[in-house]
A and B are shown apart, each in its own frame.
Chain A
Amino acid sequence: MKWLDNLAEKSTRKLARSSGRRSFLAKLSAGIVGGSTIPLLPVARASGGGNSYPGVGSQSTGNLEDPGDPTSCDYWRYCAIDGFICACCGGSANSCPPGTEMSPMTWIGTCRNPADGKNYIISYNDCCGRTSCGRCMCNRNEGDVPVYRPQQNNDTNWCLGTKSNVYNCSTGVVLGIALE
């Protein structure tokens, strides 16, 4: 999902915090780090455990070759994600929550796995057909271009080609090694 960008930015986070006004945005965005929507942009992410979302339990892949916490916006493969993290919503980094439908259309990013230092193509398939999950909003606008470049734009609902285009959450599925 690529429309929640207004909640996301580092700068918004800074602005919202400094504003000291309604706190939901600051709270919500406090955990947002996100990634780039530009394919082939190598972005390394911290891979430490734990997330920064209050009331969301931490997880671990339990796999040294895939290090990190899938509920954390810092998780390496979320470098171009934009939306609610499915791992926080009953799914996982590469699966949708029960009862939802995975969108066959998607946008992709290229993320560097800190374990092997290799770049992987990640497919950010949305999960559709249930209302917004609302947990673990994760977004960033590096490489985002307005809607006249839809494939690089994160303002568009990508729940397309599904029975329902109601958006629930986003995954980050490994498609393979990126060719340099």
Chain B
Amino acid sequence: MQLRIVSTVLGMLLSFSLLAELSPEPIPNVEILPKDYPDSWIFAHDANFASLLTGQLVILDVAADTKEYKGSLDASQFGTFIQSSTREELYVGETFYSRGTRGDRTDVVTIYDKSSLNRIGEVVLPGEKRAQIVVNKYAMQLIDNDEYLLVLNFTPAISVTVIDIAKREVLNEVPIGGCNMIYPSGKRGFSSLCGDGTIMSISLDKKGQVIDRTRSEPFFNADDDPLFDKPMYLENIAYFPSFKGDIQPIDMTNDPDILPKWSMISEEDAKENWRPSGWQIISASDEHLYVLMQKNGNWGSHKSGGEEVWVFDTSQQKRIKRIALKNPGFSIEVTGGKKPLLAVTGTDMTIWVYDLDGELQRNIVVGAPSAMPIMLNAKR
């Protein structure tokens, strides 16, 4: 026994002597991110309703079980967000007051370097009119190979500010009365859904001036079965779900081409009153649409969230899979790359990550208990 103790102590002394001493560590020491993010990274947009002045975007690796939290950006007062796919830049639309909640108002697009997450520039927006809408990707969009940034305004007159983002220069303001949101369309332009069930389309020249403006015939009924205002683009086709469960595809290659709509709801599904529901309810991988669905839905339940994600093949216009969520979902996003993942903001406001077979992989907390990461942005 004594011999064993002595040998253990000797062994410990021997191993201690082999360990190098710790070297002094540098201060300051700030992390940087890669210029090209892995496909499994997302930006979770926390609107922070408890304190709108301190909304934020949190960068998460949804494929990671360690070091899954990568960093964050501020997004003040109903902020908007988009990533450039051609520059190593991130854009955040924000509103500030000179004395916090009061004072002089400044609307601004803040430009971040994707690697350092340092602020590298800004474009001050004129007119104190930047739209303040609960997190919506289509309140700020990039068009024409990401050369122009479009920012939505609401006073409640509705317009779109056109910015040459390379020059950091505001070019124009385009009124879109009766219509709302920015859906990229054409070579250099955008479309907006209108309250009368039509879609307006604007084409711009290189100086941001309007060269063409068209308006479709009515194709949806905002009283009977409204289209959700957050579609999913696959190539140039925007897929808009409707409250009652149709998919309305619109080809945005040129002026909007309203393609035939199709239903996600079979007769059997209709008996159980399945409907799309949640905040960001549609995403995609390859030719497959992922849609957050709610059982026993009704008029007014369109933002409640749902207990399943249904997968549809766009060419067959047919459901090919049902994914039962472990925890009800409020928003969804599918990441890109070779091993896509389904990220779901639960109604508990944490992120639940599934593989595309529907197996739960992990759960990620975004921030404080009051965090509300209701919009997820996959790498663009």
Contacts and interface: CB of A to CB of B under 8 A. Distances in A.
Given A25-B349, A157-B132, A147 B229 contact: yes
A145 B348 contact: no
Contact of A148 (B49, B52, B78, B180): B180
Contact of A19 (B103, B194, B229, B328): B328
B346 A19 contact: yes
B155 interface: yes
A6 B348 contact: no
Given A12-B304, A15-B328, A7 B277 contact: no
Nearest to B155: A160
Interface string A142-155: 11111111100001
Given A11-B304, A164-B101, A148 B192 contact: yes
A166 B330 contact: no
A18 B294 CA distance: 14
Contacts of B132: 156-157, 159, 165
Contacts of A7: 49
A166 B347 contact: no
B302 interface: yes
Interface residues of A, number: 46
Interface residues of B, number: 61
Interface string B322-338: 00000110100000000
A129 B102 contact: yes
A163 B370 CA distance: 27
Contacts, number: 154
A10 interface: yes
A165 B102 CA distance: 9
Contacts of A74: none
B28 interface: no
A15 B300 contact: no
A103 B108 CA distance: 23
A148 B195 contact: yes
B77 A21 contact: no
Interface string A123-155: 000000111101000001111111111100001
Given A18-B328, A147-B180, A150-B180, 7 more contacts: A19-B327, A24-B369, A132-B51, A140-B300, A142-B299, A148-B180, A160-B154
21 contacts: A5-B303, A11-B297, A11-B304, A15-B304, A15-B305, A15-B307, A22-B349, A22-B369, A141-B301, A144-B300, A145-B226, A146-B227, A148-B192, A148-B222, A150-B154, A156-B133, A164-B97, A164-B103, A164-B105, A165-B77, A166-B77
In the complex, the 3 A-B pairs of residues with the closest C-beta atoms, listed nearest first: A142-B300, A11-B304, A21-B348
